[in-house]
Amino acid sequence: MMPSRRSVLAGAGGLLFGGLAAPAPALARHHRVMLGAFEVIVVSDGGLSLPIGFVLPETPRAETDALFAANGLDPARLQSQVNVMLVRTPKDLILIDAGGGTDFMAGLGQFPDALKAAGIEADKVTKVIFTHAHADHLWGVIDDFDTSRYPGAPHLMSAAELDYWRQPDLATRLPDAFQAMAAGTARRLRMIDDLLKPARPGDEIAPGVSLVDTSGHTPGHVSVLLTSGSEQLLIGGDVLTQSLVSFARPDWRWGADMDAARAAASRRRTLDMLATDRIALLGTHLPWPGLGRVERKDGAFRFVGA
């Protein structure tokens, strides 16, 4: 029997991460918090379990073992959430990223059901913002009919990110670990081409909702800064991906970073801004529900969950 398109793509997701195992799907969850006049809703798409050798490929194992043991974490694998965010403003319902869908890796794809459980209909979304185009942030935008789940909303992505993933034959020019994902991402961008709108860091997408340059993880990665009255919150995407390493060791190379030096510079700059200006943080892969603050510690930083 010929394999289905879905099974082929699921296999491609496994190839991207070297056949990683994922945890069993979690129960659908959502979390709500107010930021001035904005309501921020975090909805779970599931979770991933990542081997240390993949996420920290250049760090000596003795260093990772020591850091993780000192903080009570498994030194062999990292458990990673995939949190998806929505922002309800006085005029808009804005979706920020769309989860990984069911074609990328087992353990993901819970977002559509969790969104319904939160009492939110997809057709109420008025804008979609992508922090970047990695599979666990983009692929879930597509439904079973290969069209966007949010057809009434413009889909915004930084121009640099769009230009990068739209390059002809990009997949053949990337390291093996990224080739399958690049092909799948390019395919999905074609599916939503009529909805895609290029944006740039500094753009105000809606009153109080602006894009911040946090490139490096991908060439055009952006974060989303929310400002309502005197309150601010940064939805960071993957600029800060892990609640210990990204804060205590921001210069360590993260395996999925496409430009390691630029990504480390973005981490440092973002951490300094969040700590100095006391801006709250909401991260895609930070412990559920991904919300907290950044404090300085021992010449680096630490994440303090809300």
pLDDT at 209 over 80: yes
Cα–Cα distance for residue pair 187/92, rounded to 1 Å? 28
pLDDT at 147 over 60: yes
Peptide bond into 289 cis (omega under 30): yes
What topology does CATH give the domain 18-305? Metallo-beta-lactamase; Chain A (3.60.15)
Instruction: Specify the pLDDT at position 105.
Output: 87
Instruction: Specify the pLDDT at position 226.
Output: 98
Spatial contact of 131 and 137, defined as CB atoms under 8 Å apart: yes
- Supply the pTM of this predicted model: 0.91
Instruction: Specify the pLDDT at position 8.
Output: 32
Cα–Cα distance for residue pair 149/41, rounded to 1 Å? 18
- pLDDT tens for each residue of 20-76: 444 444 455 999 999 999 999 999 999 988 889 989 999 999 999 999 999 998 888
Instruction: Specify the pLDDT at position 12.
Output: 37
pLDDT at 134 over 90: yes
**H helical segments located in 131-259:** 135-138, 159-165, 176-191, 245-248
- Closest by CA to 188, choosing from 146, 126, 218, 251, is 146
pLDDT at 261 over 90: yes
The residue ranges of every structural domain in the chain are: 18-305
Amino acid, single-letter form, for residue 150: Y
pLDDT at 89 over 90: yes
Cα–Cα distance for residue pair 284/287, rounded to 1 Å? 9
Mean predicted confidence (pLDDT) in 211-240:
98
Half-sphere exposure of 216 (CA within 13 A, CB side): 25
Secondary structure (3-state) at 174? coil
Tokens of 76: 């062999």
pLDDT at 238 over 70: yes
